[in-house]
Structure 1
Amino acid sequence: MSKIIVYDHANFEGVSREFTSSVSDLVNENLNDCISSLKVIGDPWVAYSDSNFSGSQFVYEEGEYATVEWNDSFSSLEVVTEDLMNPQITLYEDDNYRGRSIVLTTETNLAFGSFHDMASSHKVQRGAWVLYEDSERGGAQMVARASRDVPVYDWFNDKVSHVRPLKPGKFIIKSEILWDMKEEHVKSVMIDSICGLNYGEHEQSFSTELFREYTGSITDTFNFSSSTQVTWGTSFSVDVGFIKAQQNFSFSNTFNVQRGGSNTRSEKKSIRISLPTKIAPHTKLTVNVLRKEVDVKVPVKLTIKTGSHIIVEFGEYRCESGNSIITEYKEEKI
């Protein structure tokens, strides 16, 4: 849920109130023209200088604002409810969506192109945008939102110099591993071999005990779908404790996912190998040290919530473990 917390003094001091829905008139909340700092959690909010969402506009994305523009001048607050994941806006040179046009999907400084101070109307296909009078996000602002097309700019006509889409709040991601669709491949790889030979006619006794240390590794990776809405660097956890309970392998209980990275860890595995005390006549005894390598792949359902919007998509968790060390004994006549 998106919310805004407002304070009547700077630096988050004084009287405070928390809102989760738009407020058309702060007079009714005893907070008119007194807000001096605020915090936003989730999707952006628009603060207006006048009641009923009119007058000058100021946009606040998720974060903390120890001071605000137009201190003590806000009379209404509106939460942005549009889906902000895939924005698009069309600017038109003339009123009523006529003349030359330009389609934008990312932040653009129009001062570097041929549409600087040219826009007179717009249509927002997706998301919500801020239009600025000056380049580098300067000057007066106008918020442009989907389903709220503006055919005539009036005072803002031929003044748009910079345009940017509003960003959604931080993602809240819930992961669910679909174990019924798990794929697992297991193979054994020999990493060492120890031999005992008895060429004699009689059974021989041995008291040899070997202590060896081997290093295995565990690699956790998570692959997102090609069309994922998860932004680069976003982190969340995947509970993979089930796989540890199902198999006698050293998997992580929880895998922390960060888009663009993987989690690899190496562990040393100590194993004590004892040769049998008796080797039969004319017998070669071989002790093979094996690493059991397990490759598990399983789909993961991601429920991604940002503000009031929920998206469901799928990724793949993969764990490659080579940390299980076992021994195998073989006897051959010689």
Structure 2
Amino acid sequence: MNKIILYREESCQGESVTIQNTIADLSAVAFSSSASSLKVVGLHWVAYKEPDLKGEFNIYGQASYNNLGTMDKEIASLRLVTEKLDQPQITLYSEVNFQGRSANFQKSSDDVSTSGLTKVSSQKKVEGVWVLYDDTQCKGNRMITFAGDEIADYQQAGWKGTVASLHCLKSSDKVV
């Protein structure tokens, strides 16, 4: 059984709510922007700061999280990660509409320019879950992408930067 339990107090104490499926707005269960700790059982969950699975996010793997740091009392929506994580893949393109130079990745990269890409504008052939960063060493602004996501133009999709590094979610990851 996959579930996430949100608690109003740190150290998994106080009033709680158990969620078993993706929920676009935690206000539906009177728990929006209320969690100070959580526990994950089973698969990973993505916690977003805005409703409708938008905004800044953290990914939580199976464990108890006694303190949520920057996500404290900020979680507004949740997505259960059901994608298979054992064979990650993403193809990045230098130009919009999957044009120009391309590079295929099957593992995380601290600097995509080492693959010959100095600019990244689109993506496809996504398997697994990937976190894309606009700076090297998996730093800076970030965006999450899931299996099947094809983005023909990052800027039109709301991504202001280019991809400089990326991290593929592994089943062993605790917090991303």
TM score, norm. by length of structure 1? 0.46
Q: Deviations over 1:14-50 (max 9, x none)?
A: 2222211111110011111122222222221111222
C-alpha separation in 1, matches of 2:27 and 2:143: 24
Task: Indicate the SS of the match to 2:11.
Answer: helix
Map of 1:115 onto structure 2: 117
List structure 1 segments (4+ residues) > 6 angstroms apart after TM superposition. none
Identity of aligned residues (%): 32
Give the 5 Å matches for 1:195-206: none
Letter of the structure 1 residue corresponding to residue 122 of structure 2:
S
C-alpha separation in 1, matches of 2:61 and 2:25: 21
1:27–1:80 Cα change, 3 Å: same
Map of 1:127 onto structure 2: 128
Letter of the structure 1 residue corresponding to residue 169 of structure 2:
L
Contact 2:112–2:163, Cα closer than 8 Å, also in 1: no
1:111–1:58 Cα change, 3 Å: same
The count of aligned residue pairs is: 169
Cα offset for 1:157?
A: 4.3
1:53–1:46 Cα change, 3 Å: same
1:102–1:34 Cα change, 3 Å: same
Map of 1:25 onto structure 2: 25
User: Which protein is bigger by CA-based radius of gyration?
Assistant: 1
C-alpha separation in 1, matches of 2:34 and 2:159: 27
What is the aligned counterpart of 1:161 among 157, 164, 173?
164
1:14–1:115 Cα change, 3 Å: farther
Map of 1:44 onto structure 2: 44
Give the 5 Å matches for 1:223-234: none
Give the 5 Å matches for 1:65-144: 65-68=65-68, 69-110=70-111, 113=114, 114-115=116-117, 118-144=119-145
Contact 2:93–2:101, Cα closer than 8 Å, also in 1: yes
C-alpha separation in 2, matches of 1:15 and 1:163: 37
Cα offset for 1:145?
A: 0.8
Q: Deviations over 1:53-95 (max 9, x none)?
A: 1222322222332222332222110101111111100111122
Q: Deviations over 1:68-123 (max 9, x none)?
A: 2332222110101111111100111122222211100011111662435x222211
Letter of the structure 2 residue corresponding to residue 73 of structure 1:
E
C-alpha separation in 2, matches of 1:40 and 1:139: 26
Task: Indicate the SS of the match to 1:96.
Answer: helix
Contact 1:7–1:35, Cα closer than 8 Å, also in 2: yes
1:103–1:131 Cα change, 3 Å: same
Q: Is 1:4 aligned with 2:4?
A: yes
Q: When you count strand as a share of all residues, which structure comes out higher?
A: 1
Contact 1:92–1:122, Cα closer than 8 Å, also in 2: yes
1:91–1:111 Cα change, 3 Å: closer
Letter of the structure 1 residue corresponding to residue 163 of structure 2:
V
Task: Indicate the SS of the match to 1:38.
Answer: strand
**Which moves more between the two structures, 79-88 or 151-160?**
151-160
CA RMSD of aligned residues (A): 2.2
The answer for unaligned runs of 5 or more in structure 2 is none
C-alpha separation in 2, matches of 1:111 and 1:91: 9
TM score, norm. by length of structure 2? 0.83
Contact 1:61–1:166, Cα closer than 8 Å, also in 2: no
Map of 1:34 onto structure 2: 34
1:37–1:139 Cα change, 3 Å: farther
Letter of the structure 2 residue corresponding to residue 115 of structure 1:
L
